[in-house]
Amino acid sequence: MKPAIFFTMAALGAVLMLGGCGKIDLVPAETARAVQIESTHGLRSWSLSGAQESRILALNPEHVTDADVRGALAGAPAPHIINIHGGIATVIKRLESFTRFLNGLGYPEQAMRHPGNSNHTISCYEDAEMIAGVVAWYYEREGMRPMIIGHSQGSFQAVKALQLLAGQTADHLTVWNPLRWRPEERTEITDPLTGKKHPVVGLKVSYVAALGGGGITRALPNQWDMMFSLRSVPDAVEEFTGFHLGLDVLGGDYLGWGSSNHYHATGSARVRNVKLPTGGFLTHGKTPDLDRMLSNPQALAWINGYAPSTNPVAPKDIPGNTEGIEFGADVWKSVKRHWVIELQRLIRARHGQRHGD
């Protein structure tokens, strides 16, 4: 065995042994509870006043302030965020921390929790076909295109799901029900904005964030099919941001340096690549662990005032541990943007339906 291959496999083995497997059980809701949730979940469960709709429609998606979140968006529904965690058990709690971080900034907690079993994340070991089918279920129910946040191997699965939705690797896809965690016997949904039938293949996600995808995790057998297509982003997403770290052994190609870590659009998707500050071996797993920022007023001020950059660096005078703050700020900026875009799109569609347009 060549030394490089031996080192790669040894490193992967050590990580998996020390961290444990990141697979979690997707336990379905009890039948009676599932029926009750299905009858009330999504578009049937909310309404906004005319005044709040007007405030939301007046928002600029490119500049959503903390006051807008706490005022105009308070109590409004939001696109579901599908978190896909990496391959070891320790990263589950870190993506859960990131969920608390987004919730503390004002994003609705229920929009990040699967309704059947209250899980906040899906394992990277779940089939991408299931993830794509869950996207379809949420869009049909809620009228807003979901977002996906993938960490480590979760980034692979996010791109796989996009390639499936784009029809690159599948001719048809089945709707998956996250209440019952099983496929439904259909490959079409009723588009909630138009009332027309639409196949699952061809649907779009609003936003994807992919953190630390690549590196030695490419050597894992479940990722071999992505060896040459990981960085290719199809038109099944409006905005895609790829994040990489220098000296990232686990998730960085060539240790996170250079254009080999850059994602690119194969069509019209808006793709950004963001180089996060150089960390170390442990930074790969710890970056999403950000709920501690909620008790740091100076960190929150910088996050809420963040201007997007391809190489962001937070000021050194922010007190406390700020590791990962740049990732959190950039994702929050995009999440707010697509929250407003999807809500405005839904409100306008519903107005059209009321007036018979």
> Which two structure tokens, joined as six digits, stand for 146?
């979901």
CA pair distance 150, 154, nearest whole angstrom = 4
The answer to whether position 97 is within a domain reads yes
The answer to whether position 31 is within a domain reads yes
The answer to whether position 327 is within a domain reads yes
Q: What is the pLDDT of residue 68?
A: 98
The answer to whether position 51 is within a domain reads no
The answer to whether position 59 is within a domain reads no
Classify burial at 310, counting beta carbons within 10 Å of its beta carbon; exposed 0-12, middle 13-18, buried 19 or more.
exposed
Q: What is the pLDDT of residue 21?
A: 60
CA pair distance 143, 192, nearest whole angstrom = 5
Q: What is the pLDDT of residue 89?
A: 86
DSSP string, 70-132: HTTTTT---PPEEEEE-SBTHHHHHHHHHHHHHHHHT--GGGGS-TTT---EEETTS-HHHHH
- Ranges of residues in the chain whose predicted pLDDT is under 70: 1-21, 44, 280-282, 353-357
Q: Name the pairing type of β-strands 176-177 and 182-183.
A: antiparallel
* Domain with 345 in it: 3-37+76-354
The answer to whether position 8 is within a domain reads yes
Q: What is the pLDDT of residue 187?
A: 98
| Residue labelled with tokens 């042994």 | 17
The answer to whether position 71 is within a domain reads no
Domain count, the chain: 1
The answer to whether position 281 is within a domain reads yes
Looking up residue 243, the CATH number of its domain turns out to be 3.40.50.1820
**169, 163 contact by CB (below 8 A):** yes
| Residue labelled with tokens 């490959």 | 187
Q: What is the pLDDT of residue 14?
A: 42
